[in-house]
């Protein structure tokens, strides 16, 4: 019931502006840690070692603070502790914010305002967006939505059911570390090594669950679920990352579009593997469709995890 209430809060409120969001606090902590580390670690070995410490310290602290907060709230009363745990889980979910992000690009794109669409897309992707045309902007939105169904919804939900708010926040800290320092470029390949590996490990199961849930959602919403499953099986391991292509492949198949291709990062060209078959040209309707699938996937995931929780509790 805690995760259900947290999910409902996320659907209603999303991430309110000005709210002291734990993930923003984690991000601020990571930035401070990086500044301190770079001040003293001057070679690759030292950076990698410091990166392991940063990863361990940040995730452990996130878990501990969450656990202790709930524990201390219990001294007031059980109901207060319950509400504090719900609030923590709520902050790990990003269902409404993912839809907001998609529509923040959709709206100016519909008005033919490429400049605003590019600027808004830049807020949610790490690729260069300054020169993107409409189809590449749409592709960026679809890739972001599909990848973040796992990272921002299914994975934290999975860990919340598995270990409550502390484990969900542990996951969120690991995910934030990966998004900030887990790159394989010259700057972060050593410092972010441990963070990237931990994120790969934690997302291994949720990413695969997400792909299957997208197939189910496609069936329920009337999209091409057979093609979704086909492309999911065929293309889900094409990315260098062991996890990132599962949701993208399933969504590409459901919509009959092709994702991947040429992107620029910090001015350097990177060709990502192509996922899906180009049965349709990318268009604005596909952003709407991706958001519908995202919402359905999050709801089905909630139900599936709840049923598994009941099943395992009966076994125990």
Mind listing the pLDDT tens digit for each residue in 35-83?
999 999 889 999 999 999 999 999 999 999 999 999 999 999 999 999 9
Place of tokens 């990571």: 30
Q: What is the pLDDT of residue 316?
A: 64
Residue 186 clears pLDDT 90, i.e. is over it? no
Beta strand extents in 133-258 (DSSP E only): none
Mean pLDDT for the stretch of residues 109-133: 93
Q: What is the pLDDT of residues 216-244, one digit of tens each?
A: 999 999 999 999 999 999 999 999 889 99
Residue 18 has pLDDT above 80, yes or no: no
Pick 219 or 312 by higher pLDDT. 219
Kindly report the length of the chain. Answer: 316
The answer, yes or no, to whether residue 7 has pLDDT greater than 70, is: yes
Residue 184 half-sphere exposure toward CB, CA atoms < 13 A: 5
Categorize the per-residue pLDDT at 315 as very low, low, confident or very high, splitting at 50, 70 and 90.
confident
pLDDT at residue 274 is higher than 90: yes
The answer to whether residue 135 scores a pLDDT higher than 80 is yes
pLDDT of residue 15: 83
Which class for 97: exposed (0-12), middle (13-18), buried (19 or more C-beta within 10 A)? middle
Percent of the chain exceeding pLDDT 70 equals 99
Q: d(Cα 129, Cα 133) in Å, to the nearest integer? A: 9
Average pLDDT, the chain: 94
Contacts 24+ apart (CB under 8 A), 260-268: 260/143, 261/139, 263/127, 263/128, 264/127, 264/128, 264/131, 265/126, 265/127, 265/128, 265/185, 266/128, 266/185, 267/128
In this prediction, residue 19 carries a pLDDT of: 67
Q: How far apart are CA 50 and CA 210, in angstroms?
A: 33
Alpha carbons 240 and 246: distance in angstroms, whole number: 12
Cα first-last separation, the chain: 19
């Amino acid at each position: 019931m805690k995760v259900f209430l947290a999910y409902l809060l996320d659907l209603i409120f999303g991430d309110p502006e000005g709210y002291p969001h734990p993930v923003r606090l984690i991000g601020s902590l990571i930035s401070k840690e990086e500044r301190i580390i770079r001040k003293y670690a001057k070679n690759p070995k030292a950076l990698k070692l410091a990166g392991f410490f940063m990863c361990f310290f940040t995730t452990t602290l996130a878990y501990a603070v969450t656990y202790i907060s709930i524990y201390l709230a219990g001294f007031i009363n059980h109901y207060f502790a319950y509400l504090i745990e719900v609030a923590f889980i709520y902050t790990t979910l990003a269902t409404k914010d993912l839809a907001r992000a998609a529509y923040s690009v959709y709206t100016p794109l519909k008005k033919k305002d490429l400049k605003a669409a590019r600027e808004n897309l830049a807020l949610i992707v790490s690729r260069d967006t300054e020169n993107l045309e409409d189809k590449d902007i749409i592709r960026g939105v679809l890739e972001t939505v599909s990848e973040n169904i796992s990272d921002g919804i299914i994975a934290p939900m999975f860990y919340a059911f598995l270990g409550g708010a502390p484990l969900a926040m542990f996951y969120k800290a690991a995910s934030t570390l990966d998004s900030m320092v887990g790159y394989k470029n010259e700057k972060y390949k050593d410092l972010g090594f441990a963070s990237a590996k931990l994120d790969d490990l934690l997302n291994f199961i949720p990413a695969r669950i997400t792909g299957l849930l997208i197939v189910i959602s496609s069936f329920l919403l009337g999209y091409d679920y057979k093609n979704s499953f086909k492309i999911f099986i065929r293309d889900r391991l094409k990315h260098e990352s062991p996890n990132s292509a599962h949701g993208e492949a399933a969504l590409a198949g459901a919509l009959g579009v092709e994702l991947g291709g040429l992107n620029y990062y910090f001015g350097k060209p990177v060709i990502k593997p192509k996922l899906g078959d180009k049965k349709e040209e990318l268009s604005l309707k596909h952003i709407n469709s991706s958001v519908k699938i995202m919402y359905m996937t999050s709801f089905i995931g909630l139900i599936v995890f709840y049923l598994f929780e009941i099943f395992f509790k009966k076994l125990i």
